[in-house]
Amino acid sequence: MFSNMPLLRKGMNSGTKKALIVSVGTFHKPDLPPRSGSKRDTKRLHKILTKLGFKVTLLNDLTAEEIYEEFQNASREPLGECFLAVISSHGEEGTVYGADCKPVKLADIFSFFDGPATKSIPKLFFVQACRGQNLDGGIEVDSAMSPEEEEDCSFSTYLSIPNESAVCFATAPGCAAFLNLTGSVFLQTLCDILEEENGCNLEVNQIATQINYRVAYHYQAKGQELRGKKEMPCFVSRLTLPTFPFAKSCKERSFPLAIEDCHSSTLHCNSSRKKSIS
């Protein structure tokens, strides 16, 4: 019955992968404070993704309408063999904010990539934004929503994720995301993994698991009010095949061509570096 199913997604060669990074660090109104450190994330990501063969578009401080427009335009163009998006801003459950402080619904962004032209192409979304206010004070948070709205918004956001897509959120529903002058814990951890010797050859589920482990166990808030507070990323996948988005070619992978083996080849984390978030 399953004899004709491919065990791995085909190789993703340099020059056929696209990345769109949208980061909002400065806002037009005082309602939302500046996000110091966000440019550290985008600068490092741009350098790493370019080195790994992505054609990278980096856009800063767009309004809500401009964010919608850029993602819609990206969905209408050829995505190559893989599409990666990074969205970094203030946010709440299911929503991020443009520089004009107007909301951008993640479900609407995802819907642009649910058409027949993109349905078979792996699409990865990394979202650095708060999803609630469970941590607020003592850290720079990307937030603002009432807890009563969070559960329904979270469920509808998950339902809107397109086929052959995966979304990695910086934090769990209802919680704030960590950000300081050196960047975000979430995106800096992704960069750390990709810069390691075998990091770019990991399957996307392994990368997400490593992010979860390192952020959950290696980082915690400092300061009197928030000492010991944690951040826990959240990964949701509708991918149907093991996917190696950051490997330049099949020859560079250290994994055998079998699904069973992909689960036992996780790169173990030995880093003990901690980051101040107070």
Q: Residue 179 is encoded by which pair of tokens?
A: 């950000």
**pLDDT, position 250:** 42
91 Cβ contact list (under 8 Å, min separation 6): 97, 127, 129, 130, 131, 142, 143, 177
Using the structure block, give the residue that is written with the tokens 């004009």: 100
Average pLDDT over residues 210-236: 79
**pLDDT, position 219:** 79
Catalytic residue annotation: 90, 130
Banded model confidence at residue 71, pLDDT cuts 50, 70, 90: very high
* Dihedral sign computed on CA atoms, order 56, 58, 64, 66: negative
Quick: pLDDT tens for 226-270. 556 678 999 999 999 999 999 975 444 444 433 333 332 333 333
Print burial letters for 96-132: b (CB count within 10 Å at least 16), e (below 16).
bbbbbbebbbbebbbbbbbeeebeebbbbbbbbbbbb
Portion of the chain with pLDDT greater than 90, in percent: 58
Query: Residue 80 has what DSSP assignment?
Result: B
As its CATH architecture, domain 17-262 has 3-Layer(aba) Sandwich (3.40)
Portion of the chain with pLDDT greater than 70, in percent: 71
- The pTM score is 0.80
Domain definitions of the chain by residue range: 17-262
